[in-house]
Amino acid sequence: MTPRPTPSVRVQAEDFDLGREQALLTRGRRDIGALVSFVGLCRDEEGALEALELEHYPGMAEAEISRVAYEALERWPLQGLTIIHRFGRIRPGEQIVLVLTAARSRADAFAAAEFLMDYLKTRAPFWKKERCADGAPGDWVGAKSEDDAAAERWR
Amino acid sequence: MKALYFAWVRERIGLAEEEIAPPRDVATVRQLIEWLSARGDGYAAAFANPATIRVAVDKTHAGPNAPIGAAREVAFFPPMTGG
């Protein structure tokens, strides 16, 4: 039985490096068989977006992501877990969020990563506001009912 | 207690945070929203549709019937759009 790992949870303005995070998670380990990473990017579909402003609730963002991380550790026998969520101004093409799961087998690593993203979207206190390329004041991004449905299916 | 406002709730009220002292008969999250709504036009606009308001009591998600008795910090915000 693998001892339960301590998740690494970070909420930061700075960018992150997937290769570095993978190396940190697997350093000195010979027992990890599967590493799944999800990176969420800022997306612009119509050339209209200058950037997203990500507002967050300091303190609660870290606490809520940690709660979700420990829920994932209850459900799947993970060997390592890293979650990074950025805040502040993020431009199209830049990274917003990282979920990295390590497990003996891929099924657990995939399932846990998907669960974590579904729950982060509906529970982590972050809000996106659009900054338009033409300088017009942008709108707050609305919560999607598909995200609620995605989180609901894990109940 | 401290009240915190985020995203368009913050914009409509015009404040990020403030000290509030609701009367003792304001005991739940739902009652606190009703009490805040009566504080001015910005508050009324922010809380016009309570179904779109999410609340955290001491940095933990809380439903409309959650008690606010011993809370130090209550936050109000729209549904989350991170990830």
- Rounded to two decimals, the pTM is 0.94
Domain B2-77 has CATH 3.90.550.10: no
A57–B81 CB contact, under 8 Å: no
Cα angle vertex A66, ends A65, A71, to 5°? 100
Q: Which residue of A has its CA nearest to B5?
A: A57
B82–A127 CB contact, under 8 Å: yes
pLDDT of residue A16: 98
For tokens 């989350």, what's the residue? B80
A37 close to B (CB below 8 A): no
pLDDT of residue A110: 98
Per-residue pLDDT of chain A (155 residues; tens, 9 = 90+): 567 899 999 999 999 999 999 999 999 999 999 999 999 999 997 888 999 999 999 999 999 999 999 999 999 999 999 999 999 999 999 999 999 999 999 999 999 999 999 999 999 999 999 999 888 778 999 888 888 888 888 88
pLDDT of residue A148: 86
What is the average pLDDT across B58-70? Answer: 96
Token reading at A106 = 């891929």
pLDDT tens-digit map of B9-55:
999 999 999 999 999 999 999 999 999 999 999 999 999 999 999 99
B14 close to A (CB below 8 A): no
pLDDT of residue A1: 54
Token reading at A93 = 């093409």
Token reading at A56 = 């967050």
B83–A121 CB contact, under 8 Å: yes
Chain B residues whose CB is inside 8 A of the A68 CB are none
B60–A63 CB contact, under 8 Å: yes
Neighbours of B14 (CB within 10 A): 12
Report the percentage of chain B scoring pLDDT > 90: 96
Enumerate residues 6+ apart whose C-beta is below 8 A from B82: A54, A56, A85, A96, A97, A120, A121, A124, A125, A126, A127, A128
Q: Which residue of B has its CA nearest to A116?
A: B83
Q: Which residue of A has its CA nearest to B16?
A: A57
pLDDT tens-digit map of B70-81:
899 999 999 999
Q: Beta B73-77 vs B2-5: how paired, if at all?
A: parallel
Spatial CA neighbour of A123 closest among B40, B5, B56, B69: B56
Q: What is the mean pLDDT of chain B?
A: 96
Domains of chain A: 8-152 (3.90.1170.40)
pLDDT of residue B77: 98
CB A90 within 8 A of CB A101: no
B65 close to A (CB below 8 A): no
- Taking a contact as any Cβ pair under 8 Å apart, which residues of chain B between 17 and 46 contact chain A? none
CB A37 within 8 A of CB A102: no
pLDDT of residue A54: 98
Cα(A128)–Cα(A147) distance, rounded to whole angstroms? 15
Strands, sheet with B73-77, edge to edge from the N-terminal-most edge strand: B17-19, B2-5, B73-77, B54-57, B60-62
Question: For A143, which of B59, B61, B79 is closest by C-beta distance?
Answer: B79
